[in-house]
Structure 1
Amino acid sequence: MLINSNDLKRLLGLLIVIFLCSCSGIKIRTSEVGPGWAKNSVNTVIFRQSAITSDQQYQFTAYYDNDSYLVLARREVGSSKWKIQKTQYQGNTKDAHNAISIALDGEGFLHVSWDHHDSNLKYAVSKQPLSLKLGEMQSMTGKQESKVSYPQFYNFPDGDLLFMYRSGQSGKGSLVLNHFNNETRKWKQIQNNLIDGEGERNAYWQASVDKKNRIHLSWTWRETWDVSTNHDIAYAVSSDKGKIWKKSSGETYTLPINQSSAEIAWEIPQKQNLINQTSMTVNDKGLPFISSYWEEGDQTQFQIVYFQDGKWKKEITDFRNSTFDLGGGGTKSIPISRPEILVTGGIIYLVYRDAERNNRISLAYKKYGLTTDWKVKNLTSYSVGQWEPNYDRRVFKSNKELHLFVQNVKQEDAEGLSDTEPTMIKIVELTKLPIK
């Protein structure tokens, strides 16, 4: 069912507007998209990859509404008016793992995958380029598509797509990589078990594709279902779209990668509040930067591991004043979000929210490798609950603008549901990143 802005205004009293505000001296522009499911954090988990994407003409986003329908939205770049499409598809929104991932291929077709937690692949493509109308659900490769979790799309600069997901249950799952050829319009499985937990552990990953089509991959090992058994940050890189994988030294991995063969970028023991499924990026030279948080001393701080001058280095932030106990299973209610990292012009930017800052969206930044202090600014004056950051990577790469998918949500511990009414999906835009 297609919903235009007049229908929304009549039925919901929704006004699509632009809000201009200044938070800590930063110019912020906000556009409202539509009301979304808010009883848990399924719309805002950091591992959506991506919640928002664009080409040179249009920007797209996706979310679940209060009836658990998959909703797509599109606007012209620079406009505040969103066109809304309630699709024919629904998801199990009671499980916050079941997030939506979207991507545009080189021909402008929108690819959408949604509603996965050890379940059958749900995947559809728009009927026409830049359209909000999805076709029928379809298979990608027909291989390992019955127990899918954490689906993620990544864009190659040449128009191809990478699709990564876990096949199988936590502790026994395989990391699968599929490659979409933009010219042939076909998917091909590249890896059926890239990282092997050997039946004893599981890898929780994050990735980034650089301008040379290289895939940078990092992950944290977890020994059991309990998040407190997370440990270490490992790394691998591929220069041929996922076939051959190497360490930062250039040494080629024998596949699959396991705990004994993995390059440890940073050693972190168990029971240190190390979180899984965070974010990574590359700098202007194509060097990897990985963000996470874990405890050192008596405080849990955001930390950045990065590769420079032939070795791994670390930046620890110092702006948090408290700690907490990270343990157990399921989706957790945690006082801080997982951080999203951006790097440009020698500056690290972390986007996050923290109960210490009243759960507002915050931006921390500093020049890496220097002893200067971190600076922290609020991007919102209001709380976003248990929101986690998702941003438009293509807009950032092309224009150095930060466009965030934002919704105020409440997450109860261990897949619990709150009684929260639908809240507004917003796109918060920062057109100029602070440098001082």
Structure 2
Amino acid sequence: MNKKFLLAISSLVVFITTACAQKLVPVDKAWSNNSVNAVVFRQNSLVTQADTQFIAYYTTEGKLALGKRNINDDKFTINQTDFSGNVKDAHNCISIMVDGDGYLHVSWDHHGHPLRYAKSVAPYSLELGPKTEMTGQNETNVTYPQFFKMPNGNLIFMFRDGQSGQGNLVLNSYDVKTQKWSQIQSNLIDGEGQRNAYWQACLDHKGVIHVSWVWRETWDVSTNHDMCYARSKDGGVTWENSKGEAYRLPINAASAEYAAKIPQKSELINQTSMTTNGNGEPVIASYWREQDSDIPQFHIISLVDGKWIVKDLGFRKEAFSLSGGGTKRIPISRPQIVAKSTKKGTVYYLVFRDEERGAKVSVAELKPSGKVKITDLTDFTVGSWEPSFDTELWKDKGMLQIFVQRVEQVDAEGTADFEPQMVYVLEVK
């Protein structure tokens, strides 16, 4: 394969229709021997600015590939960059975002590594400049890079500094006017050398940053516990709880607000997703096992009139257990959640994969009445895939488009002997 290439895939464009009339747009065959291209904490795998949608993935050889299309077209132009990643470690995903001026920002290949970050050479370009630092601070032991875009076009970048069980949450900010990064928080959530926070975050329509997290005491996933919450109304400088009470930073286990108390060994997963409803109130999606049950269920935790409410969706039938380290092979995916306001209230859509349903791309629709409707969005298995979606397209146009690729994850960071699989964009009707 050439180092750089442009691929017009018009000859490959197909419209695969499932029972619920979704559309799959093919992109390229890519690495699928583990879930590195399809982990839930990619922020983002897809991102749209104006009418241009970008995508990122690792090729079959582990090269960082970038693509773009007009959102109304079904042809992606692909550029294989000079950069590569250790694709055998499923933590080492690619995260992208486009700033308000149209520059593409990319971070990739981290699991306790020095920062890998680059920016496009021009607005809407697939050509990246050299790998560079952001601020030079806390950039030697990076994991879980995630971008978020503020309403004014500036960016927020979050990552873990440290390791599982002993890590801190760092927050950087990018100013489109100066084109420079600054470090807003070097240690927003402090594990105090005894634990670390596995977070999920979102920005609402006013630019409020919402963060929730579980604590993990050791490298073992079974030591995950509880769900905590914080928000910032000034771009990450100051933080408060849901009652508007200011946090003294860094936040730790003693000072954190607990949205839900969940014991260790509850099959509580880390790094899921969150959103807000039309009133800007936080909504968190996760899964765990209630103490009187052996079956982990998807849950939604929401703030309603100042009180935290936990909804057990309760539709799963099969038990499983979480323990150990590394990337686990789990029969269900971690969920993504989006919200839509209607005249009758907020409707939530939980996107997931479950082997009970043939490991397809599925969505659970939670209506204001409390009724849950489940629909499969594909008619084929996606293996060990987890959902990520175009957050900016959903915010701006209410269009849900999901990164889909069948991948196979071997338990505890192994790699499968599996042929390259097609990357798709699933356009949900």
TM-score, normalising length from structure 2?
Answer: 0.96
Residue in structure 2 matched with residue 434 of structure 1 by the alignment = none
Q: Deviations over 1:314-359 (max 9, x none)?
A: 1111211011011100000000000100111211110000000010
1:81-92 superposed matches below 5 A: 81-92=75-86
Q: Shift of residue 373 of structure 1?
A: 2.7
* 1:356 alignment counterpart: 356
Hey, what does 2:301 align to over in structure 1?
305
Partner of 1:376: 374
Query: 1:203 aligns to what?
Result: 197
1:19 to 15, 20, 42: 15
Give the AA of the match of 1:402.
L
Distance apart, 1:20 and its partner CA = 4.4
Shift of 1:419: 0.6
Measured in 2, the distance between the counterparts of 1:430 and 1:129 equals: 28
RMSD of aligned C-alpha atoms? 1.1
> C-alpha distance in 1, partners of 2:396/2:190?
36
Contact 2:27-2:422 at 8 Å conserved across structures:
yes
1:365 match: 365
1:260 to 254, 257, 266: 254
Instruction: Choose 169-178 or 69-78, whichever is displaced more.
Output: 169-178
**How many angstroms apart in 1 are the aligned matches of 2:107 and 2:414?**
24
1:26-425 paired onto structure 2 within 5 Å: 26-296=20-290, 297-345=293-341, 346-368=346-368, 370=369, 372-425=370-423
Matched residue of 1:324: which SS?
coil
Contact 1:222 1:231 in 2 (8 A): yes
Contact preservation (8 Å) 2:286, 2:334:
yes
Q: Distance in 2 between matches of 1:183 and 1:88?
A: 28
Q: Which amino acid aligns with 1:177?
A: L
Three-state SS of the structure 1 residue aligned to 2:392 is: helix
What is the DSSP-based 3-state SS (H/G/I as helix, E as strand, rest coil) of the residue aligned with 1:398?
Answer: helix
TM-score between the two structures when normalised by the length of structure 1: 0.95
Shift of 1:213: 1.1
Q: Which residue of 1 aligns with 2:6?
A: 4
Residues 77-114 of structure 1, C-alpha deviation per residue, up to 9 Å, x if partnerless?
11100000000000000100000000000100000000
Count of residue pairs brought into register by the alignment: 421
Matched-pair contact (CA < 8 Å) for 2:227–2:259 = yes
- 1:358 maps to a residue whose letter is G
* 1:2 to partner: Cα distance: 3.8
d(CA) in 2 for partners of 1:329, 1:19: 39
SS of the residue 1:35 aligns to:
strand
**Contact 1:167–1:173 at 8 Å: present in 2 too?**
yes
Q: Which structure 1 residue ranges, 5 or more long, are not aligned? A: 10-14, 432-436
CA distance in 1, matches of 2:91, 2:303: 31
Aligned partners of 2:204, 2:90: CA distance in 1, in Å? 29
3-state DSSP of counterpart to 2:296: strand
Matched residue SS, 2:363: strand
